Amino acid sequence: MAKHKMIYPTLAMALDAEYLTADLKKFTAVICPEMPTRKDERIEAIVRIIFNDPQSVFRQLTSLGQNAVSETVHTWGGILEGRMFVNKYFASPWSQPEGSDERNVNLLRLFLINGHIPTDLLKKLKDIVPRPPEDDIGYTEYVDDDESTVRETARAALANLATLLNLVVDKKIRVSAKTGRATAATVKNIDDLLHDGDWYDEDEIGPMQSFAWPLLLQGGGLAKGDGSFLKLTPAGHKALKKDLAGGIKTAWTKWEKSKIIDEFSRVTAIKGQQSSRGRTMTSPLKRRPMINTLLEDLQPGRWISVDELDRVMQTKSIYSFDMVNYDWKLYFLDQHYGHLDYNDTWPLLQFRYLLVYLFEYCATLGLIDVVYEDPHLARDDYKSCWGTDELTCLSHCDGLEYIRVNDLGAFVFGHTDEFEEKKESADLYAFEGADLFFVGDGVIPPGQTLYLEKIAERKEVDRWRLSVSSLLGAINSGESLAEIRTMLAEVSSAGFSVEIEQIFKDAEQRSTAFVDVGKTTLIECHREFRKQVLAHKKLSNLCLPAGEKHLAILPGREKEFAGALESIGFVIGRKS
């Protein structure tokens, strides 16, 4: 928002304070039939003519000028937002048609004085000036080309979420207790398991999805720190067992308020973000809701360029946000020379934040499909800044070109009430004896490999062997036999072999033969009184003999046992 020294209550005060006598002479000539000689007379004449017939004076403005007044009156509360206006109308309100004189500008300066409309005039115009036209979002019919990569993300994100949650269960995600960021070894392990792989080769650009996922799990409420590793929250368990799409929605909702990271911190070329004197950057908690609102307003299934998205973000205050409290603390290369406040910081800060937020976090969660190219030399809007000569990109997300809200995003953003997940092909695997082997096209999804290794023994690169012991081991680590059967049935239409059916039957029998029904209380007692308890009609139904000197009280019957014991003259003592 533009900064003003004074918002004047009356048009007369504004004209007197802001304009010289020479200025008022030009303004008077625009609307007054006669030219008063003194400054106060000119001000009085201007005010009288405008307030007597404001609609007539307004109609003399160019269409661009009328839109400027209309937006200022109805959209911005009396203060002209120059950036928003230019991004909506593609021109400054002060632009003049080619070959015209200054009349158009001088007329507009009678309404917009030092960037604002005085209070009395604003009140008068509200009932006269029409509301401004709505801005149209410019969607595109994207045509694939050889230079860019197109990725549909929803299916991969759901598979990756399952993989990550299983890694958490297996205590294979090690993070810093201070920052929540995964260790380099963990990031590398995640990268190897990602469905469809990361956006770029890690050696060229660095990790993106594999960096973001552990943070999204924590900030999204699906996992939390447990020493050096992560463990699942109840929401994480629910997502893993029943509802991956619901888990994505939960993570996205909670991420908006997460403090685990400022996404812009990944733009490491801009220094000074962690200045020791005062908080340089605004909180991401104030930025994310604006972008989320914009994403929710997009039509699902339609491509839009990130440049158009950036333009739309600059047309309405509900989409716009501040990035810094002190932009003079930010710099390139050398803190004594390359300060950002010498430049238009929007493309360097807000736009770069938008790119990182969309590419590294929204797309990783599978909410938007993306089109992208190599980030190096993809954009040059930072090249005029001092200290950027050696930079080939400002951020690792500079290559993002287009996005599209997909079916999963439509569900998460509230366009649909349910998400129907596209199932894997039912003919990925076949069964032979106790073995299952991959018969699908392409490579085995990494997440499936991880799961199969939990329930079976890998014999070859594409073959696993089920056994009673492998299934019992999976059950012991938290898997459900019914869920294992369902998963295997979903990836093969051939049906189980006789051997595998028998393995499941034996595993079912062995996993239900001994059932943990809860903890019991062990009572030590004298032999003669022990015999009396075991012979007692009521007490004998509340306990079982345990060895020669003990009784085990049935789970949950401790108080009842103590009461019955007291009725025959005994109480349970405590060893000192």
**The predicted structure's pLDDT at residue 2:** 41
Q: Is 270 exposed, middle or buried (0-12, 13-18, 19+ CB in 10 A)?
A: buried
Q: Is the model's pLDDT at 355 over the cut of 70? A: yes
**DSSP string computed for 66-115:** HHHHHHHHHTSTTB--HHHHHHHHSS-TT---TT--THHHHHHTTTSBTT
Residue 431 CA to residue 497 CA, distance in Å, equals: 6
Q: Say if residues 399 and 372 touch (Cβ distance below 8 Å).
A: yes
pLDDT band at 4 (very low <50, low <70, confident <90, very high): very low
Please write the tens of the pLDDT for every residue from 26-67: 999 999 988 888 999 999 999 999 999 999 999 999 999 999
pLDDT tens profile 242-269: 789 999 999 999 999 999 999 999 999 9
Confidence of residue 5 (pLDDT cuts 50, 70, 90): low
Contact 165, 222 (CB under 8 A): yes
Instruction: Answer with the residue of higher pLDDT: 380 or 144.
Output: 380
Q: Average pLDDT in the 424-440 region? A: 82
| Side-chain half-sphere CA neighbours of 488 within 13 A | 27
d(CA 303, CA 438): 35
**pLDDT at residue 412 above 80?**
yes
Beta strands in 416-456 (DSSP E): 429-432, 435-438
Res 3: pLDDT: 46
Phi-psi region of 19 (alpha: psi -120 to 50; beta: other; left: phi over 0): beta
Average pLDDT on 330-348 reads 87
Q: How many CB atoms are closer than 10 A to CB 4?
A: 13
Q: How buried is 137 (Cβ within 10 angstroms: 0-12 exposed, 13-18 middle, 19+ buried)?
A: middle
pTM confidence score: 0.81
Q: Cα(506)–Cα(99) distance, rounded to whole angstroms?
A: 92
Residue 134, pLDDT above cutoff 60: yes
Report phi then psi at 79, rounded to 5. -120, 125
- C-alpha–C-alpha distance, residues 57 and 30, integer Å: 10
Helices (H), 491-526: 498-512
How many whole angstroms separate alpha carbon 296 and alpha carbon 292?
Answer: 6
C-alpha 566 chain-centroid distance: 62
Q: What pLDDT is attached to residue 327?
A: 84
Mean pLDDT of the chain: 91
Q: CA torsion angle for 375, 380, 381, 382 (degrees, to 10)?
A: 90
Distance (Å, rounded) from C-alpha 206 to C-alpha 199? Answer: 10
Q: Are 104 and 97 in contact (CB under 8 A)?
A: yes
Q: What percent of the chain clears pLDDT 70, i.e. is strictly above it?
A: 96
Across 412-421, 441-450, 506-515, least confident range: 441-450
Cα–Cα distance, 94 to 117 (Å, whole number): 15
Nearest to 132 by CA among 68, 81, 58, 70: 70
| pLDDT at 429 (0 to 100) | 87
pLDDT tier for residue 275 given thresholds of 50, 70 and 90: confident
Range in 399-413, 451-465, 538-552 with the lowest mean pLDDT: 451-465
Q: Which two tokens stand for residue 112?
A: 């917009």
Say if residues 408 and 248 touch (Cβ distance below 8 Å): yes
pLDDT of res. 46: 95
Amino acid at 207: P
pLDDT at 1 over 50: no
Residue 385 has pLDDT above 50, yes or no: yes
pLDDT at position 494: 78
Would you say residue 478 has pLDDT above 90? no
Under 8 Å between Cβ of 441 and 459: no
pLDDT of residue 191: 94
Of the candidate ranges 115-119, 297-301, 439-443, 485-489, the one whose mean pLDDT is the lowest: 439-443
Tens of pLDDT, residues 186-217: 999 999 999 989 999 877 899 999 999 999 99
Nearest to 122 by CA among 1, 2, 8: 8
Count other Cβ atoms within 10 Å, centred on residue 24: 22
Report d(CA 104, CA 96) in Å as an integer: 7
pLDDT above 70 for 576: no
Q: How much is the average pLDDT of 519-528?
A: 90
- Residues 292-331: tens digit of each pLDDT: 999 999 999 999 999 999 999 999 999 999 999 988 899 9
Of 454, 472, 470, 452, nearest to 462 by C-alpha is: 452
Q: Percent of the chain scored above 90 by pLDDT?
A: 71
Structure tokens belonging to residue 52? 């007597």
